[in-house]
Chains A and B, each alone.
Chain A
């Protein structure tokens, strides 16, 4: 029976995703909701992403410097940072931070809408609850996560620059030149944003699905929130491996 349940919930998630795409019609109301969601899950995630990025940059630089200096290749620290950041760390960590900050709130909001019968009420007023409540959140996440990844990477590189040049004492020119030489625009930079758009969509869909189908109780909402964070994080890590294996030569 367990297998049957797993397959059934997978199918339900697939149909739910399909209904989100079908409900995404570019009306004025949709854009109004979209702007609110961009503000709520994008703009307000900025501080946590910025702080996260800066500290990741600092620690990767510190580690990279210690390892590379053994071989007299301390100059290459920015190459290591750039490739690691664009290929793996940037998209994945941004997505994980985003799930913690915004995914949980999406699940909680929708769970509470379910618990307080707002979703049923929308249906009774002949307003598609998926189009009204889920689609704007999904598209806001698809749009915001790549942008937040950009912030994450720029903060990480800035912090790394500060540490390499002002603390460790590398040449600033070499730092930038090595970074530029090693990071390819299409293979690394663009792929980072393709990846993070997929991660954003995944995170929002999982959170919305779990919240939308939550038990209509207080406890159900709290379970949904936890589930959204756990499932979305694991899915993002899995997708990351699959996409890395296929995208990067």
Chain B
């Protein structure tokens, strides 16, 4: 076992350097770059009646620009509303207190994200605050179902094509049922 020749040492050194450099480039160029440990974020919560396909780590955007991500999703044991914790970059700590949050989908098949719309309140949103103005996720299938079944039955022989026929059907229903269960009315027809 003779050598520790300079050639081998150089080759090993070059290999290690090259490998570490390539790892560094990979980490920066091909990942979402969350390696700044304890990066400055603050958390606020928002309650939604329905969150659809929202997942942890989904982006939080203002005007299409990423400003944070969904840190946690849980269910409020009393009201059974979904509580979404948003982790927002400290750079955007001057959001007004009446900022509203909605759950949107990017494209038809894309991922869900939370869109924030800043309001005009002079007070700022503080860490731990709750966003009160929220808009739940839109269930596309439910929407299509409403569109298809709301018209035809109510109008009685209507052509079932549109939004207009829905009004008479609502006339006799109490407020809290409006727009909720359009399907039975079509079955009750003789």
**Which residues of A have CB within 8 Å of B14?**
43
The answer to whether A43 touches B12 (Cβ under 8 A) is yes
The answer to whether A35 touches B31 (Cβ under 8 A) is no
The answer to whether A150 touches B32 (Cβ under 8 A) is no
A109 CB–B CB distance under 8 Å: no
A46 CB–B CB distance under 8 Å: yes
Residues of chain A touching chain B, judged by Cβ–Cβ distance below 8 Å, are 32-33, 35-36, 38-39, 42-43, 46, 71, 73, 82, 147-148, 150-151, 153-154, 157, 176, 179-186, 188-189, 193
Distance of A232 from chain B, by nearest CB (Å)? 22
Distance of A146 from chain B, by nearest CB (Å)? 8
The answer to whether B27 touches A189 (Cβ under 8 A) is yes
Binds A, one of B3-11, B128-136, B180-188: B3-11
B143 CB–A CB distance under 8 Å: no
Residues of chain B touching chain A, judged by Cβ–Cβ distance below 8 Å, are 1, 3-4, 8-9, 11-12, 14-16, 18-20, 22-23, 25-27, 29-35, 57, 109
Look across to chain A and name the residue whose beta carbon is closest to the beta carbon of B29: A176
The answer to whether A151 touches B19 (Cβ under 8 A) is yes
**Which residues of A have CB within 8 Å of B12?**
35, 38-39, 42-43
Determine the main DSSP class of B at the interface with A. Answer: helix
Look across to chain B and name the residue whose beta carbon is closest to the beta carbon of A44: B11
Report 20 cross-chain contacts, Cβ distance below 8 Å, ordered by A residue.
A35-B4, A39-B12, A43-B11, A147-B19, A150-B19, A150-B22, A151-B19, A153-B30, A157-B26, A157-B30, A180-B29, A180-B30, A182-B32, A183-B32, A184-B32, A184-B34, A186-B35, A188-B31, A189-B27, A189-B30
The answer to whether B26 touches A180 (Cβ under 8 A) is no
**In the docked arrangement, what's the CA distance between A154 and B18, Å?**
12
The answer to whether A153 touches B8 (Cβ under 8 A) is no
**In the docked arrangement, what's the CA distance between A181 and B9, Å?**
39
Distance of A171 from chain B, by nearest CB (Å)? 16
B11's contact among A39, A147, A153, A176, by CB below 8 Å, is which?
A39
**In the docked arrangement, what's the CA distance between A157 and B9, Å?**
29
**Which residues of B have CB within 8 Å of A43?**
11-12, 14-15
Distance of A151 from chain B, by nearest CB (Å)? 6
**Which residues of A have CB within 8 Å of B33?**
180, 185
Look across to chain A and name the residue whose beta carbon is closest to the beta carbon of B35: A185
10 closest Cβ pairs, A-B complex: A147-B19, A43-B15, A150-B23, A185-B31, A183-B31, A154-B22, A189-B31, A185-B34, A39-B8, A39-B12
CB contact under 8 A between A185 and B4, given known A39-B11, A43-B12, A180-B32: no
A154's contact among B3, B11, B25, by CB below 8 Å, is which?
B25
